[in-house]
Structures are given as C-alpha cells and as structure tokens.
Amino acid sequence: MLTTTKFAKECIEFGKYGSTTSNWLSNINKGDTVFISQFNYKSQKIYGPFKVKFSLFYEKKEIYPNKKYYYRIDIQFNKLRCIEETDIYLQGINSENKDFAYRLINLLQQNKHLHSICFNNKEGKFILQTIKNHGNELKKFNNKIYIPDYEKLKVDSEFIANKNRLSKKSFFSSESDLETFIIFNLKNNKSVVYNQLNKILNSIQNNDLNHSKIYNQFIFGNAYPSDIVIFNQNNINILELKKTRLEKEMIAMIEKEIKKYCYYSLYSERLEENNNRQINFFLIVLNSEQNLKYKKYLEDYFKKSIKPISCFAKFSFTIVEYYLDNQTLSFRKN
C-alpha cells in the first residue's frame, strides 16, 4: 500500500509514486501489485490495483506541487477503481471476516504517515477482492503518463554505493541507504551480502534465507515499523540497522526497539502461520572496537526485557557488525 495525504491525483495522472528516501520503495519489484491510499480529514480512499512497470529510480522531474519525492516507481493500471475505507469493513461482513477487516483498517489508519505499508498475502488479496466487489470505476482524469529513461535513472547497489561515496568512506551516510543496499543484495542469492547473512542466520536451527520471506519496514501490529524482517516456518528474524558504531546516546532507543519488536512479533497476526517460531533479534552496527563496551549491557538487557514472555517462545540476541571493503558490504558476528 502506497500512502499519501493529498497527492493521489498526481500519482495517478503521471503513473508515478515517489518517496523522500530510497528504503521505502526498495523492496517493490517490477510486476508487483500495489494500491494507493489517500487518508486525510476529508476522505479515506484507496485506488487500484496498479502494476509496477519500473522498480526504483531517481528523477527530479516535477510532479508534486512544491514537493520533491525523487525516489520513484512507475505504476500502471488497466481499469482503475476506488473504494472507501468502509468498503473494507463491508467486505469483512460479507465474507464473515469482519475482525480481520477491522484490523486491516486500523493498520492503514495508524500508518497513513508512512510512504508504504508492506502487506502479507492475505491482506493484499483481501484489498484486491474488496476493490473487485465494491470498487467504483474511475474514467475521468488527465493522462500525463510519461516513460522515464529507466536505464539511466534506476536505483541499484551501484547507485547507492556512489551516493554514499563508499569508495572513499567506510560507512553509509544514512540508515535508509544501508537498508536499501541490503534489500537489493537480498534479492540476489549469489551476492556476498546474501551469503554472509544466510550463514549468520543458519547459526540458528532451521533458519535458511532460501526458505524465508523478506519484508522491510514491516509493522508487526502497531505504528512502529522495523527495518528488515526475515521470517520462515521456524524463525522470526528482526534486523535493526544502525549506520554507526554503538554510542551511549543510542542505547535508550535500542532498548525500546528490542522490547517493542519482540513483544509485538510474539503473537502478530500479520506474520502468517505464526506458530512456535523462535524470535531472533539482530542488531547490525558499524564495525568498531567500541561496540564491545556495550555488548554485555545489551545482552543482559535483552534477557531482562524478554523474561516476562520467555515462556511463550525462544529468543536470541546477536550483534552483527558491518564493514566495507572496496565497496563490498560484509558482515560478521560480534
């Protein structure tokens, strides 16, 4: 679900959706089905379905009044339809699944400030069915669709590396670009990143990337998105990213993230077939000897924070350091 408070018209007319940072759209691929929601004080509407024609690219052509949103994807539609928020609940009533519909509405309402919301299969199919059953076809709009020079504008690992000057620096300029770089490499099972992360995950039983689903900015059930979530039949892997080494002022936020993600993932109905999974929290930080200064404290805090729920699942905590060698991103367990 691509979200906006007031620019749905421009997105539809130009056939583009834009965000301020790369990570929000990095896990959207060519051929994916997406929707656009415009929730504000006047109305709550959802438009779609759209098909992604071009995945992430960077372009400064003005589309949105006085706004930037230069990170973009190209979207197209056949028959454009529109539903109201209440149509989701109506679909729930008609399908005898109104509790699920109510939770889905809450998800959209709570996170309308985000650029995008990752759906699981059940959620996406439910929205698609709602549009099919209750959507009103829209025929009147100004067609301003244009085709960008995608080969020159596409955002890939090389683009992110150049943007962050990784040939001269040993760290990423932003956590959003670090996340995007990892997501791009997780799409390639031959990349160094994929194989190193797979090795780290495989240190835990039945925890293979090849049999996992990967989400970024995935929300377990509240309005607090995690960075990357990798889950499979036996494990929920939470990857929290920090572009720098561990610093004292970061600890309070990390404590909050540990507790929220572990608690909300325990029984999250957004994680399909969430039964008897081990929950693994991976804190990924820049390689530094200073990280050892906080390792014991964070390990102890993790044990203390999950103690009230430790009878319901198994938990693990791991600090993983990233480092750059000739623009190649690598990982090792601290």
**How many percent of the chain have pLDDT more than 90?**
81
- Is the same domain home to 183 and 144? no
Express each pLDDT in 213-265 by its tens digit. Answer: 999 989 887 777 899 999 999 999 999 999 999 999 999 999 999 999 999 99
pTM of this prediction?
0.93
- Is the same domain home to 143 and 200? no
Last residue of a domain, one of 103, 127, 152: 152
Average pLDDT over every residue of 112-140:
93
Confidence tier at 274 by pLDDT (50, 70, 90): low
- Mean pLDDT is highest, among 11-15, 64-68, 217-221, for 11-15
- Is the same domain home to 142 and 171? no
Query: Mapped to the 3 state alphabet, what secondary structure does the chain carry?
Result: CEEECCCHHHHHHHCEEEECCCHHHCCCCCCCEEEEEEECCCCEEEEEEEEEEEEEEECCCCCCCCCCCCEEEEEECCCCEEEEHHHHHHHHHHCCCHHHHHHHHHHHHHCCCCCECCCCHHHHHHHHHHHHHHCEECCCCCCCCCCCCHHHHECCHHHHHHHCCCCCCCCCCCHHHHHHHHHHHHCCCCCHHHHHHHHHHCCCCCCCHHHCEEEECCCCCCCCCCCEEEECCCEEEEEEECCCCCCHHHHHHHHHHHHHHHHHHHCCCCCCCCCCCEEEEEEEEECCHHHHHHHHHHHHHHHHHHHHHCCCCCEEEEEEEEEEECCEEEEEEC
Q: Range of 198's domain?
A: 161-333
Number of compact structural domains in the chain? 2
Express each pLDDT in 281-317 by its tens digit. Answer: 999 999 999 999 999 999 999 999 999 999 999 999 9
Average pLDDT score over the chain: 93
- Is the same domain home to 19 and 148? yes
Residue 273 has pLDDT above 80, yes or no: no
- Is the same domain home to 22 and 97? yes
- Is the same domain home to 27 and 79? yes
CATH value at residue 67: 3.10.590.10
